[in-house]
Chain A
Amino acid sequence: MSEKKNTGRRAFMRAAAAAALGGGVWLAATPSSGAWVWQIDPRKCTQCGQCATHCVLNPSAVKCVHATRICGYCDLCSGYLQPNAPALDTGAENELCPTAAIKRSFVEDPYFAYSIDETLCVGCGKCVKGCAQFGNGSLYLQIKRDLCVNCNECSIARDCPSHAIERIPLSRAYILKYDDDSKGTE
């Protein structure tokens, strides 16, 4: 009886160990299991352009996001227009985005609203840099969770010169663009 009991316990222990080991191997082999996700910290990103070229996906899982709350709705949007654009309109020669992913719509004179067509955006960050350098910085780059395959080691993060990409728990919300409207602080 006791031998039977011992055999049963041993079998259970073996099964448990196998399950734990198997589970561990399975977890290690499938890093996209979802507990953690890669995210860009918009405050650290310097828009080097590598988010467009270094992602394992093509086009990249990184997309431009617009924090409309801090947008100035400018007609001369520096994220939308080429520097020194010949005219402040939707002519292709004036547009900054290489894939025409930014859409502009008239609100009232002289204000325009801007939105991003994610299917066209390649995550180059060109508009983000223009907006950050001259405007309010309302455009920013983010890794989209619905697109990212959650590589074990994000190949953009590996080469990101600003160490702007980190892994955060899936349960945490997207890292959004901060809303600091101060004139300048230390």
Chain B
Amino acid sequence: MVPDWVWAALAIAVVSVALALFVTDSPERPGDALVYDVSEYEAVDAEDIRYRETLRVALELENPAALAVDNNGHILIAGEGALLVLDEAGGELARREIEGRPYCAAVAPDGVIYLGMRDHVAACSPEGDVLAAWDMLNERAWLTSIVADENHVFVADSGNARVYVYDHSGTRHTVIGERDPEQGLHGFVVPSHYFEVALDTTGALWATNPGKLGLEKYREDGALLGAWHQPGFDIDKFPGCCNPVHIAFKSDGALVAAEKGINRVKVFAADRSFEGVVAAPELLNAGWKTADFPDDMTPVRDIAVDGNDRVLVLHGPLRSLLIFEHINK
């Protein structure tokens, strides 16, 4: 006769073995050779972070997509059906209903607001009333960036991979980026809808060449003055494809650049040496899931620099404006 405790011990042993087998029965994991991993490039040294977020403004706006700062320090943000004007502290000063969805915005020195709709530019009064809708471009057009000085409005069209130079009345004078293989000019290489223009502090026009991973400097008649292409995954380079996705300049000529793939905003000094990081991937990727925004290739929809050299970042998934200031060490 086998004593009960033996049966009990046997039962416990069987259950334990079954449990152990169940817990340790994990399926084969893919080895390193099968996994795409860029985490080593996403890591940012704490020492390289030279800015800190000092303000975050939640926006009551559908699809915020365009950001600009006017001469009074007011912040303009355009999105689906509306244009917001905020003060420096993010307080709402005005809200104007607009038709459609702008993809980019600029304010000229005279206060006129230019909105880049998908296939045309809308000129608006400083109060946001539409003054004129300029001629429609072709069906491929997709206006992704716009900037204005005293005489010109420069518009980047990712669909046609061209930059247009208009005067303030909407007359087009120059098209930049025509291909001329015989001269070795392959124009702008624009694989996706990330294509930017910006004016530096000397008033010179810069356009990104996303397929070349860098920037090019142009005269308003379309002459190429210089190029700065930085392909690579190191922190002082632009990785992957279509980077940088947004650019802006600080008053000292430093370049602020936002990237996709490795979601990051960083600064290069006027001599284009790497200066530091404004917003690391850790900060920009927090609080939202890529799976919920499958159409966003980057959370950063636009960037700008204000009169106090603060870096403004328009975060799409968080529907927020993030403001960063330099850490004076």
A positions within 8 Å CB-CB of B? 43-44, 46-50, 52-54, 72-78, 83-84, 88, 96, 98, 108-110, 122, 124-127, 129-130, 133-137, 159, 162, 180-186
Contact = CB atoms under 8 A, between A and B. Distances in A.
B27 A186 contact: no
B65 A184 contact: yes
Interface of B: 27-30, 33-36, 38, 41, 62-63, 65, 103, 142, 144, 158, 181, 186, 189, 191-194, 211-213, 231-234, 239-243, 260-261, 291, 293-298, 301, 316-317, 319
B241 A183 contact: no
Given A47-B36, A126-B34, A186-B316, A135 B241 contact: yes
B53 to A, nearest CB: 21
A129 B36 contact: yes
Contacts of A124: 30, 34-35
Q: Which 9 pairs show the lowest CB-CB distances between chains A and B? A: A72-B191, A134-B240, A49-B30, A134-B261, A129-B36, A84-B233, A124-B34, A183-B193, A126-B36
Contacts of B296: 184-185
A162 B181 contact: no
B241 A53 contact: no
A75 B243 CA distance: 14
Contacts of B38: 83, 133
A145 B121 CA distance: 48
Contacts of A122: 34
Nearest to B297: A184
A181 B190 CA distance: 13
Nearest to A182: B295
Given A44-B291, A73-B191, A98 B241 contact: no
Given A53-B28, A84-B232, A46 B241 contact: no
B34 A180 contact: no
A72 B291 contact: no
Given A47-B36, A52-B34, A126-B34, 18 more contacts: A49-B35, A52-B30, A53-B29, A74-B241, A77-B241, A83-B38, A84-B232, A84-B233, A88-B231, A125-B34, A130-B36, A133-B38, A134-B240, A135-B192, A135-B240, A180-B295, A183-B65, A183-B194
30 contacts: A49-B29, A54-B27, A72-B241, A74-B191, A75-B211, A76-B211, A76-B231, A76-B241, A78-B240, A83-B38, A83-B41, A84-B232, A88-B231, A98-B34, A110-B186, A110-B212, A126-B34, A127-B36, A134-B242, A182-B193, A183-B103, A183-B144, A183-B194, A183-B301, A184-B295, A184-B316, A185-B295, A186-B63, A186-B316, A186-B319
A17 B105 CA distance: 73
A75 B231 CA distance: 12
Contacts of A159: 27
A52 B29 CA distance: 10
Contact of A78 (B234, B261, B293): B261
B294 A43 contact: yes
A186 B293 contact: yes
A14 B239 CA distance: 71
A182 B63 CA distance: 12
A185 B63 contact: yes
B27 A48 contact: no
Given A180-B295, A186-B293, A110 B27 contact: no
Nearest to A85: B233
A18 to B, nearest CB: 40
Point out which of A53, A133, A136 has the most chain B C-beta atoms below 10 A from its C-beta. A133
Contacts of B41: 83-84
Contacts of A83: 38, 41, 233, 239-240
A52 B221 CA distance: 54
A125 B63 CA distance: 31
